[in-house]
Amino acid sequence: MAYRVDEVDKRILYRLAQDARNTTTSDIAAEMDVTSATIRNRIEQLEEQGILHGYLADIDYKSINGYVTYQFRCTASIPDRKRLAQSALEIPGVITARELMEGSSNLVITTVGAGTDEITQIAHELSNLGLEIHDESVIENEYQTPFDRFGPEHTPKKPSLMDFMSLTGNAEIVEFTVSDGATIAKTSIEQAVDEGLLSDEMLIIGIERDGEVLTPQGKTVIQPGDVVTLLSKIPLEKESLKHFGS
């Protein structure tokens, strides 16, 4: 089953993209009202799923002894594009290779060299690989910013509603992430019913935890970070979900 990225994951990605060096798990945990252990576990999951590949330093090469950063726009045959991109990375001075969904100019190679002679040598080696160079230019500056939709301004109020469906007869299905400070967190379904946290009209029909789908039973304990699918026989009001969010 595909990994589901929720609001906690998005905030982790946002903060790491913003400043991975100075961002701590406790910073993100406080911001999202979860534990530091939860953030560490989520980072491990994002790495395991191939969503988070690494933590690259942003280096200004032209500030170091006059190095020049160049960009080559090349064309590779579609069947060979991936192989040629990987081969280009083995050339001394090449630092990135980006595949584009284009028929021509479908491979962008970024290089660093100490002057035009080194850049010219890199260009020759790219050509020898079988790449056709269409354009080359000096990169003066590069600016980056995190993806804004993963930032705090776009975070929905808790509980984090992920999906919503209205059924016939006024029944509704809602899917959301249980927050760390939720009343129902660390409570069994059976106990939640007894304490009135779940009304008679509500039925938990699915729980996803750490990428694994659980079959809800009376003894099942709801944990912070669980993605819960709830069936309600009557239309849901915001007040009905207060126990699932802080």
pLDDT, tens only, 190-209: 998 888 888 888 888 888 88
* pLDDT (tens digit per residue) in 57-105: 889 998 898 899 999 999 999 999 999 999 999 999 999 999 999 888 9
Domain boundary among 138, 166, 190: 138
Evaluate whether residue 148 is within a structural domain.
Answer: no
* Cα separation, 48 vs 202, whole angstroms: 35
- For 85, what's the count of Cα atoms within 13 Å in the CB-facing half-sphere? 17
Evaluate whether residue 1 is within a structural domain.
Answer: no
Query: Chain-wide mean pLDDT for the chain?
Result: 85
Pinpoint the alpha helices (H) of 74-181. 81-88, 116-129
Matching residue, tokens 């059976």: 190
Evaluate whether residue 147 is within a structural domain.
Answer: no
Helix and strand totals (H; E) in the chain: 6, 11
The number of domains in the chain is 3
Domain boundary among 56, 72, 90: 56
Task: Check whether 120 has a pLDDT greater than 90.
Answer: yes
Percent of the chain with pLDDT over 70: 89
Q: Going by C-beta distance under 8 Å and a sequence separation of 6 or more, which residues neighbour residue 117? A: none
Q: Are residues 46 and 88 in the same domain?
A: no
Range of the domain at 105: 61-138
